[in-house]
Amino acid sequence: MDQNELKRRVARAALDRVTEMVSPDSIIGVGTGSTTNFFIDLLAEFKSSFKATVSSSVASTARIRDLGISVLETHKVECADIYVDGADEVDGSRALIKGGGGALTQEKIVVSISKYFLCIVDETKLVERLGTFPLPIEVIPSARSAVMRFTQSIGGKPSERSRLTDNGNVIVDVAGLVIDDPEEMEQTLNNLPGVVTAGIFALHRPHEVFVSKRDGSVARL
Ligand code: 5RP
């Protein structure tokens, strides 16, 4: 089974969970990335059963609207019933690295206004300890050198991504970090002047992670 099929299967399992949880007044939070794209495409079948969505990126917003589904502006939404999104790494305590697609800040904002966060991954994303995937950090451009120096001082190898975020900021990807305590690392990085957010989701970790496996099953963490 190839990775796209794993992604499609976990997206289908997420849709089944979402259909159990939502009502006609519900707002569904939607993440960003190739796994979430499968979920968005499936959501079209179900679009008369909820009110609207709130999205975490320009790319997801365009994809959702193309399917005729309403997307509300995030600042006008008080609460989403459920948020569905992928991840780049997941550890055994459901702490995540996200931001491979560059949407980490909007993703964290939508998580923060959602009652329930369902993360969907295939088994290649499971790790013992976070940090093999280079950690994305969204940074205000004038702070990028200082943030790169700091991450180097704690053992990382930072590099700047060429593409800016939807917010017009820079992403610094930091390889080689040893992340033994994801909450502490998230707080430390978030507290650096000029950091908008680090791509560790430990303070807002998912309530549940669905993991699509090569044997055809979908495990729940
Ligand atoms: C985007 C993200 C994505 O969820 C993450 O990069 C996983 O993407 P994919 O489903 O394409 O593997 O955090 O900012």
Q: What is the pLDDT of residues 121-179, one digit of tens each?
A: 999 999 999 999 999 999 999 999 999 999 999 999 999 999 999 999 999 999 999 99
pLDDT of 63 above 90: yes
Please tell me the predicted confidence (pLDDT) of residue 1. 80
pLDDT of 52 above 90: yes
The phi, psi pair for 93, rounded to 5°, reads -100, 15
Among residues of the chain, what percentage have pLDDT more than 70? 100
User: Would you say the CB of residue 131 lies under 6 angstroms from ligand 1?
Assistant: no
Ligand 1 atom closest to Cα of residue 31: 4
Confidence of residue 201 (pLDDT cuts 50, 70, 90): very high
User: Would you say the CB of residue 195 lies under 6 angstroms from ligand 1?
Assistant: no
Contacts of 137 (CB under 8 A, 6+ apart): 99, 147, 151, 171, 172, 173, 174, 189, 195, 197, 198, 199
Please tell me the predicted confidence (pLDDT) of residue 8. 97
What distance in Å separates the CA atoms of residue 169 and residue 153, rounded to the nearest whole number? 23
Instruction: Pick the catalytic residue from 89, 107, 138, 186.
Output: 107
pLDDT of 93 above 90: yes
> Which residues on neighbouring strands pair with residue 211, listed in sequence order?
121, 219
Strand order in the sheet with 157-160: 157-160, 170-175, 135-139, 195-198
0.75 surpassed by pTM: yes
- Cα–Cα distance list, 29 to 70, 77, 127, 210 (Å): 12, 10, 26, 16
**What mean pLDDT comes out for the span 17-33?**
96
**What mean pLDDT comes out for the span 75-89?**
97
User: Would you say the CB of residue 206 lies under 6 angstroms from ligand 1?
Assistant: no
Dihedral sign of CA atoms 84, 56, 40, 69 in order: positive
**What mean pLDDT comes out for the span 41-68?**
96
